């Protein structure tokens, strides 16, 4: 993911931030060229407590680019809903965890492709900046009590024949959210 166009780096804020990131995941992600990798070749896996059930649209991905400086092009980006894919490959859930693998529907893939094209256009103009790829939970339903925390782990797969690589260790996703967003998410997590 760290290609010359992103000399300032691509910030991985996947779900819980870099403080809980696996070095191997960041290295694998560094090999991902976000401007040339087709959305259909990227899969995001999210591990959550067994009490949380996720469906299409209960997780989302943000992909964007923020140019450096104040007198440059405006930021570009898009947030797309993730859709559940089949199979978890070699991923094995921890005790009391379930892993959901997500991909993109055609409309979301087209949105991501459009942002890739916008960022490429900025690259052609030698605009430097920081790219961001982040995923988060936006809904779901509960089969039991939440207990004031929501441990989440993440993985990324950058080719359909590649292995999933851990990006983040289990960490409380709710703790990463601003207070109001935390309350809104908790409100959305209704009993199944």
Tell me if residue 99 falls in helix, strand or coil: strand
Q: What does the alpha-carbon distance between residue 11 and residue 66 come to, in Å, rounded to a whole number?
A: 11
pLDDT given for residue 24 in this prediction: 55
Query: Of all helices (H) and strands (E), which one includes residue 112?
Result: helix 106-124
Q: What does the alpha-carbon distance between residue 134 and residue 146 come to, in Å, rounded to a whole number?
A: 23
Tokens of 180: 């109001």
pLDDT given for residue 6 in this prediction: 31
Nearest to 29 by CA among 41, 8, 12: 12
* HSE-up (13 A, CA, CB side) for residue 58: 19
Q: What does the alpha-carbon distance between residue 15 and residue 177 come to, in Å, rounded to a whole number?
A: 10
Q: pTM for the whole thing?
A: 0.79
Instruction: Say which residues have a Cβ less than 8 Å from residue 179's Cβ, sequence separation at least 6.
Output: none
pLDDT given for residue 3 in this prediction: 33
Q: What does the alpha-carbon distance between residue 140 and residue 174 come to, in Å, rounded to a whole number?
A: 14
pLDDT given for residue 166 in this prediction: 83
- Domains of the chain: which residue ranges? 4-191
pLDDT given for residue 164 in this prediction: 84
Q: What does the alpha-carbon distance between residue 79 and residue 73 come to, in Å, rounded to a whole number?
A: 19
Q: What is the pLDDT of residues 116-125, one digit of tens each?
A: 999 999 989 8
Where the chain has pLDDT below 50, the residues are 1-20
């Amino acid at each position: 993911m760290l290609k010359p166009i992103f000399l300032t780096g691509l910030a991985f804020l996947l779900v819980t931030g870099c403080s809980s990131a696996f070095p191997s995941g960041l290295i694998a992600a560094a090999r991902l060229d976000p401007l040339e990798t087709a959305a259909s070749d990227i899969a995001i896996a999210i591990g959550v407590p067994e009490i949380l059930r996720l469906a299409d649209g209960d997780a989302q991905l943000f992909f964007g680019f923020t140019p450096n400086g104040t007198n440059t092009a405006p930021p570009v980006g898009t947030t797309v809903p993730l859709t559940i894919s089949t199979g978890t490959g070699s991923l094995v859930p921890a005790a009391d965890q379930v892993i959901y693998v997500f991909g993109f529907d055609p409309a979301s893939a087209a949105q991501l492709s459009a942002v890739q094209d916008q960022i490429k256009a900025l690259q052609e103009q030698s605009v430097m900046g920081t790219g961001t790829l982040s995923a988060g939970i936006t809904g779901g339903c509960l089969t039991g009590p939440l207990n004031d925390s929501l441990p989440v782990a993440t993985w990324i797969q950058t080719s359909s024949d590649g292995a999933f690589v851990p990006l983040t260790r289990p960490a409380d996703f709710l703790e990463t959210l601003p207070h109001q967003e935390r309350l809104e998410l908790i409100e959305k997590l209704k009993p199944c």
